[in-house]
Every structure is written in C-alpha cells, then in structure tokens.
Amino acid sequence: MNTYRIYEEFRESLGEAAAKSLAQTLGTMFEELKNTVTKEDFRILRESIDGNISRLDTAIVGLAEAQGRTESSVEELTVAQKRTENRVEELAEAQKRTESRVEELTVAQKRTESRVEELAEAQKRTESRIGELTVAQNRTESRVEELADSQKELSEAQKRTESSLQSLAATVERLSIRTDKVVGRTLELQFRDRLTSYLGLFLRRGRLLAAADLLEEIESKVDPREAEDFLQTDAVAKGIVAGEPTYVVAEVSATADSDDVVRAARRAAILRKAGLPAIPLVACEAITAGTMSFARDQAVRIWLDGRLLEDAA
C-alpha cells in the first residue's frame, strides 16, 4: 500500500497531521493483514477496505462540504458577532443613558415623594379647615333658618304696613282733595269778597256780579249748553279796563292748572260771543311755569297770591 499517496490525497482536505495519521494507520493495518490472511482473504479485505475508503472519501467530501458550510457559518457568525458587538456597544450606551435617566427619575421620585408629603400635610390642613367650615356652615344654616323665620315675620308685617300705608294714602288723598276744595273754596270766597281791591289798579270802578245776572243778556245769543257752562263761573266782575267797559271772568284755584286756564278762556269767550267785552283771568296761590306759559298763549291773565302778573297778559 502506498501510504504516501494516501497522505497526499487527504492532506489538503483533512490537514497534514490528520492525513499523516490516517496513512500510518492504514499502512499498519495493511501490513498486519498481509501477514495473517490468505490471498483470497486479502482480496476480500482489499475490496472491503476499498469500499470503506470509498465511503470514507464520500464522508470526507461531506465533511469538506460541511467544513465549507461551517466556515461560511463561521464567517456569518463573525459578521453577526461584529453586529452583536456593535449592538452590545449600543446597548451599553443605551444602558448608560438608561442609568442616567433612572438616576434622574430617582431624583424626580424623591422630589415627588417630598411633594406628596407636602400635599398630604396640606390635605390634612384642608380637611381640618373643611371640618371647621362644615361647623360654621351648620351655624350659618341655623342662622339662615332663624333669619328666614324673621324675614317671614317681617314680610307679613310689611304686608300689614303696606296695607296700612295704602289705606293711609287713600285717606290722605281724600283729605287732600277735601283740603284743596276747602282751600279753593276759601280762596274763591276771599277773592270774590275782595275782588275790587285785588283788581283795583286793573279794573277801575269794579263791582262783583253774579253769573246769573248776565243770563238774560246772553241766553238768546249763545247755545244753552254754553249758557249753562257760563253759570258755573267762579267770579264775574264789571268795570273799566283801559278806559273801556269790560267784564272780567275769573276761575279761582289754590293751585292753578291748565284746566283752570281753559275754563276761564272758554267762559270769557261765551260773553264775547254774546257781544260783551270780556277778559279771562285765573286767580291762584301757586302755578307751574308750564301752566303760566299756557295761560300766556291763551291770553289769560294770572292773579297770583295777591298781585296781577303783567307778563301773563
């Protein structure tokens, strides 16, 4: 057996040491067999060895292919290892960042815990204050109920007071109306009684007449309703005004208003309609500026509290 040839064949695939060991082993086996077996046995053994060698070659080829795949896998593993190492570096950096962040979170957690403690204390104070407010609220509600009862009583008293005031107002109004009538009637009597002296500088040789004294003279010349209206005149006087015989038709009121002005103007107009010269006049103790202006527009004279107003002519 050519052990050198065996060595050469397997050196590249198995390596020098393995190929050399295999060649020596096969050479020793061959020498031992050659000395112990017959030629026929040797032939059978040779065939068996050749078959085994063939199978060994196949196995070695498979091993070589596996070795190639292994080397390829090793290369891939080397690349993966580099990626792993890079990844490990990245993970190490991330770990450092994580540790830094954890440290920050730890500090923040401590601050949070401190804040929670503060909030807990504040909550205790708040709850204590709420308890005090609850007690105060109960007192307030009790006081409100008392005030509500008092308000109800005051409301009822107010209603009674308002009713009394309304009754009093009605009484005052009735008394005021009666007083105005009394004052007006008193002024009317006073004015009639002293008409010639009150109007002495305006109405010369004046004398007081009763409205009925002129009824026969005007009745045929005016409407019956106008004649009846004239009979309601408060005071009528006859005298000389600016050198001419004239009648003064007066309405008397404590406080003159536009109705007094209208009546005086209307009743003086009735006399003028009957052909008698007449001047309307309102005698009063008080008059508003508006009524004064209205009287001026209606050419009604105003006698105010003892004197005849020139600017009302």
Q: Which domains does the chain have, with CATH numbers?
A: 194-312 (3.40.1350)
pLDDT at 225: 96
Which residue, chain included where needed, has tokens 């409301």?
Answer: 155
Q: How far is C-alpha 272 from the chain's CA centre?
A: 72
- Give me the pLDDT at residue 198, please: 84
Nearest to 265 by CA among 248, 246, 253: 248
Q: Output the pLDDT for position 197.
A: 78
Beta strands in 200-261 (DSSP E): 204-209, 235-241, 244-256
Which tokens belong to 148?
Answer: 């509500």
Structure letter (DSSP) for residue 234: S
Q: Please state, in angstroms and rounded to a whole number, the distance separating the CA atoms of residues 46 and 151.
A: 135
**pLDDT 10s per residue in the chain (313 long)?**
677 777 787 777 778 888 788 778 887 877 776 666 566 765 776 777 677 667 767 766 776 676 677 577 657 857 867 885 787 588 678 778 868 875 886 777 788 577 757 866 867 886 777 677 678 787 868 776 887 787 888 778 777 757 665 665 554 444 444 444 444 556 567 787 777 778 878 889 989 898 999 999 999 999 999 999 999 999 999 999 999 999 999 999 999 999 999 999 999 999 999 999 999 999 999 999 999 999 999 999 999 988 888 755 5
Rounded Cα–Cα distance for residues 25 and 13 (Å): 17
Tokens of 308: 């005849």
Please tell me the predicted confidence (pLDDT) of residue 71. Answer: 72
Angle at Cα 229 formed by Cα 224 and Cα 230, nearest 5°? 100
pLDDT of 167 reads 60
